[in-house]
Chain A
Amino acid sequence: MEILIALGVGLIFACGVYLVLRPRSFSVVLGLALMSYGVNLLIFLGGRIDRFVPPLTLPGATGLADPLPQALVLTAIVIGFGMTAYLVALALRMLGDTGSDRVDGPGPEEEADGPDGDAPR
């Protein structure tokens, strides 16, 4: 089970890394989202792999899940969501400002003929 989950997290993260290295801001946003999924899974499973175990001591319950990774992952999800939203807003603004959605500004082929015809400022 551990090896399966570890491979899954690694696969998600690798896809994220590949997408982050793409030139367009849309795939970078998706890549960052995938990376944060992978990371959140990793934090969540850092409290070890359990099923049907409450994070609180309840009468009759056997075992106890570690509540701290659950709290950490909530914080990480909220922060990651806020950051992604900001990145999308920034990418849109950059598209408006420069007429290109390349993360490093308009490339040489776009200087010649932009995606919708207007030369970047």
Chain B
Amino acid sequence: MSHLPILPILIPLVAAALMLLWGQRGLPYHRAFGLGAMALGAMASVALAVEAGTDAISVYAVGDWPAPFGIVLVADRLAATMVLLVYALGIPALLMATGGTDRLGRHFHPLFLLQIAGLAGAFLTGDIFNLFVFFEILLLASYAMLVHGGGPERARAGMAYVIINLVGSAMFLVAVALIYGTLGTLTIADIAYVLPNVPPADLALVRAAFAILVGVFLLKAAVLPMAFWLPHVYSAATPAIGALFAIMTKVGIVALLRLSVIGFGPAKATEALLLPWLPVLALATIALGTVGVFAASRLATVAANLVLISSGTLLFAVAFADGPATAALLYYLPHTTMATGGLFLLAGHIAERRGELGDRLVRGPCVGDRMTMGIAYAVLAVGLASLPPLSGFLGKLMLLQGAGDGVWQPLWWGALLLSGLGVTLVLSRSASLIFWQPEKPLPAVPSASGPGLALWLLVLAGPAWTLGAAPAAAWARDAAGQLHAREPYVAAVLGDVPDIQRERRP
């Protein structure tokens, strides 16, 4: 058994523990050590992706307890892609923080690495309770990082965020308890194996348990009735943290995708559990995000509402979990994550240059180095508004073709195209407020090397994802195919002919 699948979790976890032992002395050492750990973790996740690219599903039984009795980490194409994305977004976010925001509070770097460990773990785990534990690790780190820097605004946002997520965790545990009580297992692959044979007396309870679990994932993904916390929270965080948070909603989305495709399958207990209400909520979330983009008074709030729109868009594809929709989703997801992350960083850069105006969308002297900032803004905006020729357009095209047929098609096309139009309007208006003013420009402030590099890494991710669209889309198709085949995953975790001796329940 290769130890590769656990490395992307273990490296940041151990590094964070070591940094806590050092204490707060020597921030430069913390920065170097944190970036070093991120680089090592990134190498491990690249190796994981290379291995997953051979269609092998590597299963790591923690403590060598075989599934379904122990906890497994499963690295298939989907998990490897998401772990790679965690590091691809995490490294620029950490570089941005080295520009000085990591000085604002204690223990920034250990917390950041803990959050990376939690994110990687949540994508890799093959067990629902373990998923809960990794959710808590990443949430606990995010609670502390959100209020990093202090101030009443962040404390208030933090309070709402912590309470809503604690209630979510309680509901998660309710679902775990009911699933274990009825099915006797928490391993996703084993759920797929057991679920078709649920006795009729338990059907309603099992269905309720999974409905609660889906509700919790939707809370994390910020879907309409449970979405109002997100814009406030994400825009209150420092830019680096906001950028990293862009991937947190995707944890809920990918968990729901994996559970609904692998776990539910054609079982009677979970038949049509997501239809037709999830597409309706997803469309409503897109509408809410679009309205929020118009109402935003700061660039960071625009970015936060764009996170909402991308949550709605991705969840609509999840609701119709079939091959083409999932493939489109897996191409669009990295693009939208990197681009919204980039907008958070750009908002930070602009706020730094405009002094008291910050990133508020009001008239004022335009930023000093408007050439470089303007180009970065233009590239990000074209990606976010899904205009050709960048990857946002390709991703949306795949989504339009892949998801939503029949009665859904006009609603889906209308929602995506109108929200794209709205985002285009708002982003061009913001550009004219920030970059296109007749007054004398502010003096140019050269970026520190870390934050400058961070911004350009995320800005150029869009063009790179466009140039590599053919292999990237092929990879997304293969990942979706592997996920929807189901048998390879179940066989990799449980063995070809699962012959598990189960206790008989009274």
Contact = CB atoms under 8 A, between A and B. Distances in A.
Indicate, yes or no, whether A interacts with B: yes
Contacts of B144: 86
A86 B174 contact: no
By Cβ-Cβ distance, the 3 closest A-B pairs, closest first, are A46-B181, A43-B177, A94-B155
B140 A103 contact: no
A87 interface: yes
Given A39-B174, A79-B133, A93 B163 contact: no
Interface string A73-111: 001100110111011001101100110000111000000
10 contacts: A16-B170, A36-B170, A42-B173, A43-B176, A43-B180, A83-B162, A94-B159, A98-B156, A103-B163, A104-B159
A93 B176 CA distance: 33
Nearest to B130: A75
B162 to A, nearest CB: 5
A30 to B, nearest CB: 12
Contact of B155 (A69, A75, A98): A98
Contact of A46 (B159, B162, B163, B178): B178
Contacts of B50: none
B406 interface: no
B26 interface: no
The size bracket of the interface on B is 20 to 34
* Chain A interface, DSSP helix/strand/loop, else mixed: helix
A86 B152 contact: no
Contact of A90 (B151, B159, B169, B181): B159
Contact of A87 (B136, B162, B176): B162
A83 B166 contact: yes
A72 B506 CA distance: 22
Interface in A21-50: 25, 28, 32, 35-36, 38-40, 42-43, 45-48
A72 B133 CA distance: 10
B208 to A, nearest CB: 13
Give chain A's interface residue range (CB within 8 Å of chain B).
Answer: 35 or more
Contacts of A103: 159-160, 163
Given A28-B163, A79-B133, A46 B180 contact: yes
A58 to B, nearest CB: 17
A25 B166 CA distance: 13
A97 B151 contact: yes
B163 A39 contact: no
A121 interface: yes
Contacts of A36: 170, 173
B173 A83 contact: no
A68 interface: yes
B129 interface: yes
B156 A46 contact: no
B143 interface: yes
Contact of B505 (A48, A93, A104): A48
A5 to B, nearest CB: 12
B252 interface: no
Given A20-B163, A42-B174, A98-B155, A86 B140 contact: yes
B329 interface: no
A47 B186 CA distance: 13
A42 B160 contact: no
A35 B176 contact: no
Contact of A97 (B143, B152, B170, B506): B152
